[in-house]
Amino acid sequence: MHHWKPNTTVAAVIECDGRFLLVEEITHEGLRLNQPAGHLDPGESLLQAVAREALEETAWEVEPVAGVGVYMARYRHPASGTDVTYLRFAFACRALAHRPARALDEGIVRALWLDADEVRARRDEHRSPFVMRTIDDYLAGKRFALELIHTDPSCLSSDV
């Protein structure tokens, strides 16, 4: 029996003075541009995951303040046979503190601040079809309250 489930990921939309904090990362397709993003780990909530991923990939401590959107996409790589569906939860986050001495995650080349036009101009480098869509949704004022997200305490134990 085949058991299908989408991969749950989170993405941080961090904006300051019209610029967005993004990462350049090495992937199987080469250097790609993305929001600080990654997989939900066992024992954490979506909000904990997005704060952790932002810190690990950018060395910025952030605080999620609102949801921006929920996105789903299928990634199929013809050469490797990879076929994965991602369910991405994007959150608007406030930058709190930069920790420049902190090492970035493996594969992250650098974190950089770009305005929307600069991100749009680099569309061919986007890691996901949702990099620009998420920024456009954020700029359009799309938000949902964090109170809409509920995590049962049973999910937060480390024995998952």
pLDDT for the residue 13: 98
Domain ranges in the chain?
Answer: 7-151
Residue 147: pLDDT band by 50, 70, 90 thresholds? very high
CATH architecture, domain 7-151 = Alpha-Beta Complex (3.90)
Q: What is the pLDDT of residues 95-137, one digit of tens each?
A: 999 999 999 999 999 999 999 999 999 999 999 989 999 999 9
* DSSP secondary structure string for all residues of 85-145: EEEEEEEEEEEEEE-TTSPPPTTEEEEEEEEHHHHHHTGGGBSSTHHHHHHHHHHTT--B-
Mean pLDDT value of segment 14-35: 96
Question: Strand pairing of 83-98 and 7-16?
Answer: parallel
Nearest-angstrom CA–CA distance, 36 and 11: 6
Q: Which positions ≥6 away from 93 have C-beta within 8 Å?
A: 12, 13, 14, 50, 51, 54, 62, 63, 64, 65
pLDDT for the residue 160: 53
pLDDT for the residue 158: 67
Nearest-angstrom CA–CA distance, 88 and 10: 5
The pTM (predicted TM-score) of the whole model is 0.92
Residue 159: pLDDT band by 50, 70, 90 thresholds? low
Alpha carbon 4 to its chain centroid, in Å, reads 22
Q: What is the pLDDT of residues 68-98, one digit of tens each?
A: 999 999 888 777 777 889 999 999 999 999 9
pLDDT for the residue 55: 98
The answer on pLDDT for 157 being more than 80 is: no
